[in-house]
């Protein structure tokens, strides 16, 4: 799929040059290019920056998960600690069980409620026997002859909220404890690879490229940036959207226009029809059958077993008959001509008015 989509770009006349070393993006402006877009991503695992991190037996989640996907043999030993509270940490912990670990713990510095991982994923990990050591933070990796043998942690308590809105974890004095382990997987986030830092650009305190929030232009005129290198790890959709907005800004820049990406609303809300809640029927969703925890923890088989034909039909009917319809005629950011589409919108409103809430923007 990826190769096919890349071919579409090439068919539009885009030349792709591989294995090119770019020291600084601004240098390209002196070599015949009128504008530059930096989209190098955030493909490097963040480091703990504590003593012992270079010891044998310390893995980092992105590289670890990539090795597993590439069917490479990874030897963890029987006792594994995963550090972090996001989805990568949960994935690393559950995979550790599946490749032979018998004791897997997750060390997270905040409370369980503040773990950013998907709640159902956390629950699945707990059902599989993974131990959550919350309100704990690593302070030192203990090694012997260059190999990991333990992890020293300190217990935390929650203080005042930080910039993210979550309460800041504060170390509790004299509360250190040690875990005897064979391996550690560090899963505390992603950042820009060291080779992708450019001295001519400015960066945020989080090590991400500093850009104008509207135009995506960097501190260097003519150099734009977007995607994970700017936002931090996010979705593919968000990265693609950033590229599209930056392309609009680059087009303005090349035309000699004022570079701006102010959000404007084109259109008018022509109708809003409120749903009659009294007519709503509460219908619980079916519970997905899954493999038993003791079975799935030793195999890479699909955990969710799927619905049978009867339940599938019932679920499909429940979804189709939810009676809530939201309509936005501005599709994928394209602008719809109001006059040309009024008949379409009016027909939609007439057909759906009795079924739910309708928002028509034209």
Average pLDDT, the chain: 85
pLDDT(15) > 90:
yes
pLDDT for res 333: 37
Angstrom distance (rounded) from CA 357 to CA 349:
10
Give the domain-ending residue among 190, 214, 237.
Answer: 190
User: Does the residue 263 lie in any domain?
Assistant: no
Answer yes or no: do 201 and 105 share one domain.
no
Please give the average per-residue pLDDT across 144-171, as a whole number: 92
| Helices and strands (H, E) in the chain, number of each type | 9, 14
Q: Is the pLDDT of residue 330 over 50?
A: no
- 260 lies in some domain: no
pLDDT above 60 (res 177) = yes
CATH of residue 22's domain is 3.50.50.60
Whether residues 80 and 146 share a domain: the answer is yes
- At 164 the pLDDT is 74
| Phi, psi for 225 (deg, rounded to 5) | -150, 155
- The answer to whether residue 262 is domain-embedded is no
Lowest-pLDDT range, 39-43, 186-190, 313-317, 319-323? Answer: 319-323
Across 16-20, average pLDDT = 92
Name the residue range of residue 216's domain. Answer: 2-41+192-254
- Same domain for 246 and 296: no
Is the residue at 259 inside a domain? Answer: no
pLDDT grade, residue 321 (50/70/90)? Answer: low
Q: Same structural domain for residues 30 and 49?
A: no
Please indicate, yes or no, if residue 51 is contained in any of the structural domains: yes
Which whole number is the average pLDDT over 57-71? 95
For residue 149, pLDDT beyond 90: yes
Q: What is the pLDDT of residues 283-311, one digit of tens each?
A: 788 999 999 998 998 899 999 999 999 99
Whole-number pLDDT of residue 277: 58
Show Cβ contacts of residue 183 under 8 Å, excluding neighbours closer than 6 positions.
57, 58, 59, 76, 77, 79, 80, 81, 96, 101, 148
Look at residue 147 and tell me whether its pLDDT is greater than 70.
yes
Give the pLDDT score at 343. 59
Residues 134 and 247 grouped into a single domain = no
Residues 26 and 68 in one domain: no
Count of structural domains within the chain = 3
Q: Based on the domain organization, do 161 and 236 belong to the same domain?
A: no
Tell me which of 194 and 98 has the higher pLDDT: 98
Residue tagged 């990539």 (tokens):
66
């Amino acid at each position: 799929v990826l190769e096919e989509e890349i071919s579409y770009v090439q068919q539009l006349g885009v030349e792709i040059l591989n294995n090119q070393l770019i020291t600084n993006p601004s240098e390209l402006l002196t070599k015949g290019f009128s504008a530059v877009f930096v989209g190098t991503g955030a493909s490097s695992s963040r480091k703990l920056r504590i003593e012992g991190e270079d010891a044998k037996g310390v893995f980092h989640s992105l590289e670890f998960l990539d090795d597993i996907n590439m069917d490479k043999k990874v030897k963890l030993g029987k006792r594994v600690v995963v550090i972090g509270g996001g989805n990568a940490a949960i994935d690393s912990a559950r995979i550790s069980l599946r490749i032979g670990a018998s004791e897997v713990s997750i060390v997270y510095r905040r409370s369980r409620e503040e773990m950013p991982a998907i709640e159902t994923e956390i629950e699945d990990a707990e059902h599989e026997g993974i131990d959550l050591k919350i309100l704990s933070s690593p302070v030192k990796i203990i090694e012997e002859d260059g190999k990991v043998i333990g992890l020293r942690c300190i217990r935390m308590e929650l203080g005042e909220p930080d910039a993210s809105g979550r309460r800041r974890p504060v170390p509790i004095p004299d509360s250190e404890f040690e875990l005897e382990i064979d391996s550690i997987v560090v899963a505390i986030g992603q950042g820009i690879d060291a080779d992708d830092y450019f001295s001519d650009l400015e960066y945020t305190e989080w090590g991400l490229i500093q850009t104008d929030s509207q135009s995506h232009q960097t501190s260097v005129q003519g150099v734009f940036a977007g995607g994970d290198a700017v936002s931090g790890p996010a979705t593919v959709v968000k990265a693609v959207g950033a590229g599209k907005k930056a392309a609009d800004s680059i087009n303005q820049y090349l035309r000699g226009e004022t570079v701006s990406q102010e959000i404007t609303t084109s259109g008018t809300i022509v109708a809003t029809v409120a749903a009659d809640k009294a007519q709503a029927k509460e219908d619980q969703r079916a519970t997905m059958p899954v493999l038993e925890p003791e079975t799935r923890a030793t195999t890479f088989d699909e955990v969710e077993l799927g619905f049978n034909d009867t339940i599938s039909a019932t679920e499909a009917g429940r979804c189709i008959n939810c009676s809530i319809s939201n309509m936005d005629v501005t599709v994928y950011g394209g602008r719809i001509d109001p006059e040309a589409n009024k008949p379409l919108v009016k027909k939609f409103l007439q057909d759906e008015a009795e079924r739910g809430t309708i928002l028509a923007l034209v």
